[in-house]
Structure 1
Amino acid sequence: MTAGFPLPTVRDWVFSLKAFSASMLALYIALAAGLERPYWAMAAVYVVANPLAGATTSKALYRALGTFIGTSGSILLLPIFAPAPELFIIVVGLWTGVFLFVSLLDRTPRSYVFMLAGYTLPLIALPTVSAPETIFDVAVSRAEEITLGIVCAAVVSSLFFPTRIGPVLGQQIKRWLRDAGAWASTVLTDGAGNGATPERQRLAADIRAMDMLISQLSYDTANQATVRIARELRGRMALLLPLLSSLEDRLAALREAGGEIAGIDALRMRLLDWMRSGEGNERGEADQLLADIAALEPKTDLESAEEAQWPALVLSSTLERMKELVDLWEDCRQLQRQIELGDRISRWRPTFRMRRTVGKVSHYDYALLTFQAGSVVLATILSGLMWIWTGWSEGSGCVIMTAIGCSFFAAIDNPVSQIRSFTVWTAVSVGLSAVYLFALLPLAHDYVGLVVMFAVPFILVGTLVSRPQFNMIAMLLSVNTASFVGLQANYSAEFAAFMNSSVASILGGAFALVWTLATRPFGAAMVARRLVRAGWADIAATSRGGRNAHAEAFAGRVFDRLGQLVPRLAQGVSEDVAAADLLVELRVGINVLDLQRLRGKLSSAQRRRLQQVLDAIARFYAERAATGRAVDPPASLLGIIDETLSEFTQGVEPSLRRNAVQALVGLRRALFPASPAPVNLAAPAAMPFLPKLELAS
């Protein structure tokens, strides 16, 4: 390994050789078939190439669909608007922006379809705007050559030394479970984790990464049982976050409430040792752990002392969370083994019966997404009008590169550095293309000579594609060099035309950079602040009983916001954003939903009392959302919760009391973790002290 730059691995060399072979195969077929622009087929291979076979197949399919939509749009729109170039530029800008907006809504690999459809239209239509009668032939040629390239890439990737997503997913799962185990170690060792451990943050962010891998898994050779198992595991990995957060809180509450129960410390250490182990008769060990947890459950004869009620409630909740952690962790282990089995997956039965799951519901900041897409629309239109008004014959390249550059990085909070790199490496690829076009290609007299000339630089650059930090550079060098060379059946090179089109492309990147500097000065801090405020508004709406009526959807939005927020925390955020804890807010929201479901089963007086709690929570989170500040909950809210808790421990039907009391206890611990135990709890009559936990409330 050289200083600061790891040498390519064997896997990197194999991938690069496969990509180069596929590109040369596509070029050979295109030349043999007499296609008009064979270099498009060569470039298309590097656009879709990916070290994972399933990712290559999916991206190939998505590129084919995006190209078809873009070419169809160019065939439909150019003949209509060609007589009015200014109007056509506006149509092109709107087309690009609308499809970009749709792609921003779909945060899966499928979003590539819509982004590609957006900038394919200007890529095909603008160079032919002066000859609209040729658009059909150009569009068909583009579709043929792109399809040829992506088919070659997919076939070579699948047939020769394919790298499957399944094993990669298995390794990723091991890392996620290791992070979860490290967080569990912090929680179980002293029960006082700081609530923001790196392991917890990585787990939150990796939920979204797991969704990405699972979406590509269906294009791999893995069978559908593997996909189903992976989705089951994804749901349980998501549940580990609120469960560990709740257990961390309950252990701290038990200690504060004076709940020093004999055997609890030994039980915590045994649970931790079991989670760390990966061998042995784990189901038998898990059953023994569950039996030992049940032995510590508080009895139902606690009516003798009012002050004993709070410690008993906390202990009961703590033990229930330990039980669910045992079942959930055992399921994660079993599912991990199932994925490692691959085609030999056996029948699996869950231990942890999820009454609720974390729904795959996304949070969208529609105002911000509209601004991002609208910025691309205006940049495309403005650069297009400048091209028309200057009468620059090759200026369409400037508009195309503006649309592509702005679209590629629209989802990034502050894309200035990425667009700057995009422009710089576009210029580098222009220089490399000039060397090929005017110095090397005249020396090649047959196809074998072409392969030899392209081999060394393209294979070297290909080894960088699989590395995230170099992926964009490698893509730009390979794709742009192939495109700028413009290789055809008969050698033809005119220096003035080459420089004219190349300068237009570089200026397009430069215009995108200047436009971004002028229109998008904000960064991650603003986006993070909007995410946190959206979470507060969501809880306020949930407490009022508005649109957020389902726990699965609410939990899904919280996890999605958490996944978006975690990467931005390291980039510098305000004190109010740093103080926000979305897992605490998840617990608040789930408990609120539990209380809302009980309202229809209570008496009118009990409903009014419960509504006071919900209204107070709604006012508190509405104030946070309106001010953007993480203000502390008011003491009056604590008083309302304690009064309601006291009433519900004695005046509610036993079948409803369990859920109502546990939801109120959960709210109190989430909102007022540092407050002393309530002193006015009435002695319950045959209080069932082991309620069923619902999503770590």
Structure 2
Amino acid sequence: MQQSLFIRCRFAFKLSFAIVLALFVGFHFDLETPRWSVLTAAIVAAGPAFAAGGEPFAGAIRYRGMLRIIGTFIGCIGALAIVTLSIRAPVVMLMLSCIWAGVCMWISSLVKVQNSYAMGLAGYTALIIIISIQGHPQVTPQFAVERCSEIVIGIMCAIMADILFSPRSIKQDIDRTVDKLLLDQYRLMQLCLNNAPKEQLDNAWSDLVKLTTALSGMRSNLMMESAHWQNCNRRLIALNTLSLTLITQACETYLILLNHPAYIKAHLRLLLDEPVTSVADVHKRMKLLRQVITSTPTRTTAPTVYTWVGTATRYLLLLKGIKSNSRISGVEEQVLDSQSVVSAPSAERHHAMINGWRTGISTALGCLFWLWTGWSAGSACMVMLAVVTSLAMRLPNPLMVAKDFVYGMAMALPIGALYYMFILPSTQQSMLLLCIALGALAFVIGIEVQKRRLGSLGTLAGTINILVLENPMSFSVSTFIDSALGQLIGCIFAMLVILLIRDSSKARVGRVLLNHLVYEAVAALSTNQARRRVNHLPALYQQLFHLLSLFPNDVAKFRLALLLIVAHQRLRSADIPANADLSTWHRQIRATADQVLVSHNEVRRRRFFNQLLEELDVYQQKLAQYQAPRSVTEPVWRLTDTLSRYRNALIN
């Protein structure tokens, strides 16, 4: 408890230091608006802590800072281009900036989640610049340069604070996770051998998929921390594939045992049933299993158990290197370079389009309303509308993010009023008092941010924004009220946009993900060795994990996805006879499966799916004609049977 309190206080002090340093630098160098550097330091430092629910790992703040720099520069370049093209038409200029924000949001929804922040930021940065220079477009280059320089100063202050005050390394967490992952893999195999209840197996499989995905995220954090972990990073990439392979092989063993209870010989079953409590126990068990398997005729050893033991052995080899971060040996190099890995294509194109429309339409309507009414707080309202719609849409729960901003801006109103009307005017003669006042505010909110308190991050950003830290400072109550109310109303409008423009693409994304898995299973039918060496397993499990996040309680979808992944792996390793006739059918089946995947019309999709089943039936006849071994005919039959049974789930 005391250790946890110390860590929370340490990060709160780190956040306070970053904000105070940005404030001091901004006033010392007479920056036009030090508020931007202070606000940037606060967001860059507090954002990762809110996402992690505690002190962020080393490198997370640095990585977020780099994304913010990239996004700001892209946004400034976009703003300069828009102003240059439409300098004589202010309304057209605003509409182009809204279109720019929508396009950036669309791109942000297609790229990786960890990189989406940069494109979302680029969208609303251009809009902020164009709103701020209304009436004086000739100062756009100077304004853009000032914004970039002040934001870079804020980011550098946040990074310096992170480096100076004991950054938290993720390496120890990774070491514990790779151990736990191996033990859980062994226990999953034991559950499969003992024909455990389906609910228990579903929980074990889903937990392993989630833990493997979490380990992949930890690897990304490790590389943000330092280039010193390069060898460890290569091993972790390969370990991710090995972990997913172990899950698939255990699942396949369970499915085979349902129909062939004698698939596993008694002596192997006896060895695998032994309980394990540590990695050392697993290491001893693997050694015994390898000795037994090598002394047993190959035809009497279950193929999935044989490959599972080999995969677990490679896992143990890499695990030792991960913990020591030593040089990669020749044996490890063979494991690391054995397969090339492909990434999963995005299944959220429709969802991305809706996100782009939400941002573009809402900001355009807001601009027109602002121009029509001449509302003095319209600019602040427009800025918050763009910020919330750009940042919330890419996250799993946009409505909750919007609520966080609304609660935060509501809290920022009384806190900001206290500072703006009483505390800050009393500190104008002393830079030290000003730093202490803002540092104390940041420290208290820094504690709450780590608890993921709803509204805490919005309170920090909103309070700093409405304090209007400028050089020199002036205290106009009417300006403060306009800015505060504009912020709050802008966040409320953004929440209404999320509620009114509903995203109905969830079912569509689920179907596309399942059809991606169908295509990859069918595409494994190939005699091309280069195609068979490509490892699709991480991409397939990435799609499975996405499916789990969209439908956490839909066990049927989870089982179907696992069946398709098992089918892909079995067909990929099957010894398919090489002849021209079968190769022609492979290309035809892949082309039909691709038509099922890209068809947007349900009638067209159903027609191609029925055609795919017919072609698979003909293909099975050809396999019988060419006397293909059972290791080929059985997985093809299983895949055809699975597609027939789940036809409606894959089409509708």
Whether the TM-score (by the shorter chain) exceeds 0.5 is yes
**Is residue 417 of structure 2 the alignment partner of residue 449 of structure 1?**
no
Q: Is the 8 A contact 2:116 2:394 kept in 1?
A: no
Which one of 330, 336, 349 corresponds to residue 366 of structure 1? 349
CA distance in 2, matches of 1:553, 1:175: 25
Residue 239 of structure 2: which of 228, 233, 236 is its match? 233
Q: Give the secondary structure class of the aligned counterpart of 1:411.
A: coil
Shift of residue 147 of structure 1?
0.8
Please give the alpha-carbon distance, in whole angstroms, between the structure 2 residues aligned to 1:169 and 1:671: 40
The answer to whether the 8 Å contact 2:175/2:322 transfers is yes
Q: Could you tell me how far apart the structure 2 residues matched to 1:61 and 1:612 are?
A: 46
**Separation of aligned partners in 2, 1:176 and 1:9:** 29
The worse-fitting range, judged by mean Cα deviation, of 617-626 and 505-514 is 617-626
Query: Quick check: 1:166 aligned with 2:171?
Result: yes
CA deviation after TM superposition for structure 1 residue 42, in Å: 1.5
* Counterpart residue type for residue 263 of structure 1: H
Residues 611 and 14 from structure 1, CA distance in 2 versus in 1: closer, same or farther, beyond 3 angstroms? closer
Q: Would the aligned equivalents of 1:414 and 1:523 in 2 still touch at CA under 8 Å? A: no
Matches within 5 A, 1:77-476: 77-190=82-195, 193=198, 197-221=202-226, 222-255=228-261, 258-259=262-263, 261-270=265-274, 273=275, 276-279=277-280, 282=283, 285-297=285-297, 299=299, 316=301, 319-342=302-325, 344=326, 347=329, 349-350=331-332, 356=339, 358-412=341-395, 415-444=398-427, 445-467=429-451, 469-470=452-453, 473-476=455-458
Asked if residue 499 in structure 1 is aligned to residue 495 in structure 2, the reply is: no
Q: After superposition, where does 1:20-35 map in structure 2 within 5 Å?
A: 20-35=16-31
Distance 1:156 1:530 in 2: 44
- The answer for the alignment partner of 2:650 in structure 1 is none
Please give the residue correspondences for 1:42-61 in structure 2 after superposition, counting only pairs within 5 Å.
Answer: 42-49=38-45, 50=48, 51-61=56-66
Cα displacement (A) at 1:417: 3.2
Residue 38 of structure 1 is matched in structure 2 by 34
Contact 1:359–1:552 (CA<8 Å) still a contact in 2?
Answer: yes
Structure 2 residue identity aligned to 1:286 = M
Encode CA deviations 1:196-221: one digit per residue, 9 max, x unaligned.
52232233344444443333332312
Stretches of structure 2 lacking an aligned partner (at least 5 in a row): 49-55, 645-652
Aligned position for 2:13: 17
Quote the offset at 1:252 in angstroms: 2.8
Other-structure match for 1:76: 81
Q: 1:99, CA displacement in angstroms?
A: 1.9
Amino acid paired to 1:25:
L
Query: Percent of aligned pairs with the same residue?
Result: 20
How has the CA–CA distance of structure 1 residues 579 and 198 changed in structure 2, closer, same or farther, with 3 Å as cutoff?
closer
TM-superposed CA distance for 1:160, in Å, is 2.4
User: Helix, strand or coil for the counterpart of 1:190?
Assistant: coil
Secondary structure of residue in 2 paired with 1:486: coil
Other-structure match for 2:53? none
Does structure 2 retain, via aligned residues, the 8 Å contact 1:397–1:508?
A: yes
Q: Which moved more, 1:144-153 or 1:635-644?
A: 635-644
Query: Contact 2:445–2:460 (CA<8 Å) still a contact in 1?
Result: yes
Taking a change above 3 Å as real, the CA distance of residues 7 and 397 of structure 1, as seen in their structure-2 partners, is farther
Q: 1:611 to 1:145 in 2, by over 3 A?
A: closer
Matched, 1:511 2:511: no
> Given residue 664 of structure 1, which amino acid in structure 2 is its aligned partner?
T
Q: 1:671 to 1:287 in 2, by over 3 A?
A: farther
In structure 2, C-alpha distance between the alignment counterparts of 1:368 and 1:65, rounded to whole Å: 24
In the alignment, is the contact (CA less than 8 A) between 1:44 and 1:146 conserved in 2? Answer: yes
Quote the residue 1:588 is aligned against: 567
Contact map agreement 1:204 1:566 (CA 8 A) in 2: no
Structure 1 pair 635–324 and aligned structure 2 pair: CA distance change class (3 A): same
Cα-to-partner distance string for 1:308-367 (whole Å, 9 max, x where unaligned): xxxxxxx65xx222222223223333433333324x556373496885465333333323
Deviation at 1:156, TM superposition (A): 2.0
| d(CA) in 2 for partners of 1:123, 1:624 | 37
* Separation (CA, whole Å) in 1 of partners of 2:293 and 2:196: 17
Q: Report the alpha carbon displacement of residue 245 of structure 1 after superposing the two structures with TM.
A: 1.5
Assess if the C-alpha contact under 8 Å between 1:543 and 1:618 holds in 2: no
- 1:361/1:129 CA distance change after superposition, 3 Å: same
Moved more, 24-33 or 165-174: 165-174
CA distance in structure 1 between the partners assigned to 2:586 and 2:30 by the alignment:
76
Moved more, 423-432 or 196-205: 196-205
The amino acid of 1:326's aligned partner reads V
Q: CA deviation at 1:109?
A: 2.6
Question: What's the secondary structure of 1:223's corresponding residue?
Answer: helix
Q: 1:172 to 1:122 in 2, by over 3 A?
A: farther
After superposition, the C-alpha distances for 1:589-613 in whole angstroms (9 at most, x for unaligned) are 3455567x946x2375x77898999
Distance 1:645-1:192 versus aligned 2 partners, 3 A rule:
farther
**In 1, distance between residues paired with 2:148 and 2:612?**
63
Contact 1:587 1:667 in 2 (8 A): no
Query: 1:30: how far off?
Result: 1.0
Q: 1:483 deviation in Å?
A: 1.5
Higher percent of residues as helix: 2
Q: What secondary structure, in the 3-state scheme, does the structure 2 residue paired with 1:69 have?
A: helix
The farther-off stretch of 328-337 and 192-201 is 192-201
Any conservation in 1 of the 2:286–2:309 contact (CA below 8 Å)? Answer: yes
Displacement of 1:566 after TM fit? 1.0
Q: Measured at CA, do residues 281 and 586 of structure 1 come closer, stay the same or move farther in structure 2, by a change above 3 Å?
A: closer
How far did residue 459 of structure 1 move?
Answer: 0.9
In structure 1, distance between residues paired with 2:595 and 2:539: 21
Matched AA of 1:325: W
Over residues 452-471 of structure 1, what are the superposed CA-to-partner deviations in whole Å (9 max), with x where a residue is unaligned? 3223332122124345x44x
Structure 2 distance, partners of 1:60, 1:166, is: 22
Query: Equivalent of 2:636, from 662, 667, 690?
Result: 667
Q: Which runs of 5+ in 1 are unaligned?
A: 300-314, 652-656, 676-697
- For residues 455-500 of structure 1, what are the alpha-carbon distances to aligned partners after superposition, in whole Å with 9 as ceiling and x for unaligned? 3332122124345x44x73322222211111223433111111111
Q: Give, in whole Å, the separation in 1 of the partners of 2:600 and 2:471.
A: 66
Is 2:520 the counterpart of 1:565?
Answer: no
Say if 1:362 and 1:556, in contact at 8 Å, map to a contact too. no
490-499 or 359-368, larger mean C-alpha shift: 359-368
**Contact 1:236–1:332 (Cα < 8 Å) also in 2:** yes
**Superposed CA offset, 1:61-115 (max 9, x none):** 1111211221222233225424322211221122112222222222153332222
Structure 1: how far apart are the matches of 2:619 and 2:319?
42
Which one-letter code corresponds to 1:602 in the other structure? N
Measure the CA separation in 2 of the matches of 1:92 and 1:141.
19
Q: Does the CA-based 8 Å contact 1:422-1:509 persist in structure 2? A: yes
Change beyond 3 A, Cα 1:193–1:184: farther
1:157 positional shift: 0.9
Kindly indicate whether the alpha-carbon contact (under 8 Å) linking 2:442 and 2:460 is maintained by their aligned counterparts in 1: yes
CA RMSD after TM alignment: 4.0
Displacement of 1:243 in angstroms is 1.9
